[in-house]
Chains A and B, each alone.
Chain A
Amino acid sequence: MMSKKTMKLLLAGAALTLTASAAMAQTNLRVFVSSQHRPDVWRKAFDMYEAKNPNVKVTIETGGNTSEAQAQYLNTVMTAKDSSLDVMILDVIRPAQYAAAGWTVPFNDVLGADADSYMKRYLPAYAEANTVDGKVVALPAFADAMFLYYRKDLLEKHGIQPPQTWDELAVAAKKVTESEKDPNLQGLSFQGKAIEGAVCTFLLPYWSMGRQLVSNGKLSFDKEAAVKSLKLWKDFVDQGVAKKNIAEVATDDTRKEFQAGNVLFAVNWSYAWGQFQGAESAVKDKVGVVKLPAVQGGQPASCLGGWEWGVSAYSNNKTEAQKFVQYLSSPETSEFMAINAALLPQFPDVYTDADVTKAVPWFANARPVVETAKARPVTPRYNEVSDIIRTTVNAVLAGQSTPEDGATQMEGRLRRVLR
């Protein structure tokens, strides 16, 4: 039997520990970060927040290497109303869906009457993408757009200027690959696998022809332009400008192959730059970036990318999580991520910041591209729209259907979804 004295001591000890832990009240925030967007650098940004807020501990969760793999995972977490995630990074196409499903907590209560001016600090496209029915449903993490990367050294060697049109690109690619005689050198790498990137692959020439997929919430599909777009990419494969198995190539494959020195031109997002300049890169200091080519007689068009921070509606730490997201979506963090991870800023002013232009000189030219990049259709049924476009692009590139059949199928299936 325990003596009364020991009992008292134990109780006192327990009481002490309880009060102590109440004073420390640690909040653990679990944050989902996409693995392709430098979770290692985000970790450093999280560490800085932890240093300033000793009562907050941030854990990173990362997974999947494509936007849809991540969406699939987050869909499962959210439909299960799982509280394990507090903050999650969302592709720019998703805040509208998340808002419709009620999966994120709006920031309006925190921002109060300042919400409007708060959002005005961002590039307009991102203020718009994150505001649904007047509610701020997420805050921008970083901006993005698609660019044309090219091998500066090879173009200079052959006296070629970066191409302005896709036709010029094909000519340049053939000239360089023929005279280089390197069997591993591909003229052009782009995304042909049935992933989100393939939606942009289809839309780039389609938009360049001045066409829209959705106008005023209605499908405005131009079949002729769609056929031309699909044919443009298929011709690259047939002419040997792109490799035969381009239908297997995802975004990060394009990045890896370019980084290994096996690609002359590559269509990719901004994140690739940081890795091209990294220690493991075979093309360090040999890379140029310009806006994407246009179709003959058309305007150059880029696909608006970028990712957003949302706070889960099922989080147990909503207030702390929102505070944390405001830090992540601040000009300071934006500058840090631009310098250290080459993620494009969501704030117009950061592009011209002296430290940023020193670290990533081409960002100054990137701003007009981001500002004019076109957004993929905004609809709660975006996943279906995306699936239709990307499987068609994939089937055409694999030679499974012709550009004409592909466009017909695409139109029929899109009409079902966007009724």
Chain B
Amino acid sequence: MATASETTLVTPRNESGTKWWTRFLDPSERTLALLLLLPAALLLALIIVYPVCRLVWTSFQNLSLTSGAPAAFAGLENYALMLDDPVFWETTWNTVLITLITVPGALLVGLALALMANLPFKRKWPVRLSLLIPWALPLSFAGLIFAWFFHSEYGVVNDVLGRLGFEGVIWFNSARWAFAAICLTIIWKTSSFMALIILAGLQTIPRSLYEAAEVDGAGRLRQFFEITLPLLKASIVVALIFRTITALQTFDIPFTMTRGGPGTSTATLAMYIHQNTVDFLDLGYGSALAVVMFALSMGVTAVYLRMIRAKG
């Protein structure tokens, strides 16, 4: 609404015959806003719009550095190859599965952590710090650390299992166990990010609501479902958007834990893109894969944005 009224303020000056550049000498608020936004817009165009366009263009080319041949237009060839590439389907499916498991997983664990951190502790900093540490740890470090935890011979997980009387598992020797180990690691790593955002949301809920609910005789559980959860919805959606997009781009943790093995059973789409571009130097095919991942991320974001808008 605000923009419309500003436009009406600007138009009469234009019609009064002043030259366009005089606007820069005596900028109205709207022009000033545009001018101030221009550097940021240019920067974004340079670091986001240009690379994305370039990526799409490369995806239509035969461009492999190992062939020594110059780039040649190939139309949809890379996309056709992709459709009957079993590894593309497998890695895409793995990516979707990781997203479907770790996003809700991290949400539940993160919610629990946030609720715990929101309890009236005497000292708040140790709780906050332990929440921050997994989040501050680089992803690849987390992957390497957990690869050791799950190591079949020297790992602490099998050691604990053994002490409890269970037989240890050769985690990375089976697709299912390797996948489980990766998902557990991702949930551990990302739930603290969820917790941080949810904790911020929790702290905006006025205490008076709970006091009123108590007076009305609502139990803790009722309070949680009637007050906490509805008021957290906005923060949860924000956390979900960020988490889902990073989940679709999962790379570091499986890369450092299993390198996609056994076989290609734990490889993700991001790892396959990396392999095609960095290892195979097939930039054309790698770009086509990246375009698919870009479309996937955009699609998911659109769904979430629609959800937010629907909620008003």
- Pair A75/B263 contact, Cβ less than 8 Å: no
Q: Which residues A374-419 have CB closer than 8 A to chain B? A: 380-381, 383-384, 387, 391-392, 394-395, 397-401, 409, 412-413, 416
A185 shortest CB reach to chain B, Å? 15
Q: Does B278 contact A (CB under 8 A)?
A: yes
- Pair A391/B263 contact, Cβ less than 8 Å: yes
Q: Which residues A75-120 have CB closer than 8 A to chain B? A: 75-76, 79, 97, 100-102
Given contacts A248-B172, A394-B262, contact A101 B65 (CB under 8 A): yes
Given contacts A101-B66, A244-B173, A245-B152, contact A398 B262 (CB under 8 A): yes
Which residues of A are found within 8 Å of B66, using beta-carbon distances? Answer: 97, 100-101, 380-381, 383
* Distance in angstroms between the alpha carbons of A381 and B66 in the assembled complex: 7
Q: Which residues B50-108 have CB closer than 8 A to chain A? A: 64-68, 81, 85-87
Given contacts A72-B278, A401-B263, contact A79 B85 (CB under 8 A): no
Given contacts A248-B172, A413-B86, contact A398 B263 (CB under 8 A): yes
Task: Name the one of B81, B174, B262, B279 contacting A72, with C-beta atoms under 8 angstroms.
Answer: B279
Which residues of A are found within 8 Å of B152, using beta-carbon distances? Answer: 245, 248
Which residues of B are found within 8 Å of A79, using beta-carbon distances? Answer: 65, 281
A81 shortest CB reach to chain B, Å? 11
- Pair A387/B275 contact, Cβ less than 8 Å: yes
* Distance in angstroms between the alpha carbons of A329 and B142 in the assembled complex: 42
Q: Does A291 contact B (CB under 8 A)?
A: no
Q: Does B280 contact A (CB under 8 A)?
A: yes
Which residues of B are found within 8 Å of A100, using beta-carbon distances? Answer: 66-68
Given contacts A75-B281, A100-B66, A409-B86, contact A391 B173 (CB under 8 A): no
Q: Does B213 contact A (CB under 8 A)?
A: no
Which residues of B are found within 8 Å of A394, using beta-carbon distances? Answer: 261-263
- Pair B262/A395 contact, Cβ less than 8 Å: yes
Q: Does B259 contact A (CB under 8 A)?
A: yes
- Pair B174/A399 contact, Cβ less than 8 Å: yes
Q: Does A125 contact B (CB under 8 A)?
A: no
Which residues of A are found within 8 Å of B174, using beta-carbon distances? Answer: 398-400
Inter-chain contact count A-B, CB under 8 Å?
90
B82 shortest CB reach to chain A, Å? 11
Q: Does B175 contact A (CB under 8 A)?
A: yes
| Interface size counted on chain B using CB atoms at 8 A | 29
Which residues of B are found within 8 Å of A400, using beta-carbon distances? Answer: 174-175, 262-263, 265
- Pair A391/B170 contact, Cβ less than 8 Å: no
Which residues of B are found within 8 Å of A383, using beta-carbon distances? Answer: 66, 279-281
What does DSSP make chain B's interface, helix, strand, loop or mixed?
loop
Which residues of A are found within 8 Å of B86, using beta-carbon distances? Answer: 409, 412-413
* Distance in angstroms between the alpha carbons of A186 and B152 in the assembled complex: 16
**Interface readout for B166-183 with A: 1 if CB under 8 Å, 0 if not?**
000010111100000000
- Pair A392/B170 contact, Cβ less than 8 Å: no
- Pair A247/B261 contact, Cβ less than 8 Å: yes
Residue of A nearest to B275 (CB): A387
Which residues of B are found within 8 Å of A75, using beta-carbon distances? Answer: 278-279, 281
Residue of A nearest to B174 (CB): A398
B94 shortest CB reach to chain A, Å? 13
- Pair B87/A413 contact, Cβ less than 8 Å: yes
B129 shortest CB reach to chain A, Å? 34
Q: Does A167 contact B (CB under 8 A)?
A: no
Q: Does A219 contact B (CB under 8 A)?
A: no
Which residues of B are found within 8 Å of A391, using beta-carbon distances? Answer: 260-261, 263-264
Given contacts A97-B66, A412-B86, contact A193 B170 (CB under 8 A): no
B171 shortest CB reach to chain A, Å? 9
- Pair B85/A380 contact, Cβ less than 8 Å: no
- Pair A398/B280 contact, Cβ less than 8 Å: no
Most chain B beta-carbon neighbours within 10 Å: one of A102, A194, A244, A413: A194
Most chain A beta-carbon neighbours within 10 Å: one of B67, B81, B174, B263: B263
Task: Name the one of A68, A71, A247 contacting B262, with C-beta atoms under 8 angstroms.
Answer: A247
Task: Name the one of B153, B261, B278 contacting A194, with C-beta atoms under 8 angstroms.
Answer: B261
* Distance in angstroms between the alpha carbons of A394 and B262 in the assembled complex: 6
Residue of A nearest to B84 (CB): A416
Residue of A nearest to B172 (CB): A248
- Pair B279/A387 contact, Cβ less than 8 Å: yes
- Pair B68/A102 contact, Cβ less than 8 Å: yes
Residue of B nearest to A398 (CB): B262
Which residues of A are found within 8 Å of B153, using beta-carbon distances? Answer: 245
Can you name 16 extra interface pairs (CB under 8 A) apart from A97-B66, A245-B153, A416-B81? A71-B279, A79-B65, A101-B281, A194-B261, A244-B170, A247-B262, A381-B66, A381-B67, A383-B66, A383-B279, A384-B280, A384-B282, A394-B263, A395-B265, A398-B262, A399-B174
Which residue numbers of A lie inside 8 Å of B, CB to CB?
Answer: 68, 71-72, 75-76, 79, 97, 100-102, 193-194, 244-245, 247-248, 380-381, 383-384, 387, 391-392, 394-395, 397-401, 409, 412-413, 416
Subset of 8 A-B contacts with CB under 8 Å: A97-B66, A101-B68, A101-B281, A244-B173, A245-B170, A383-B66, A394-B261, A394-B262
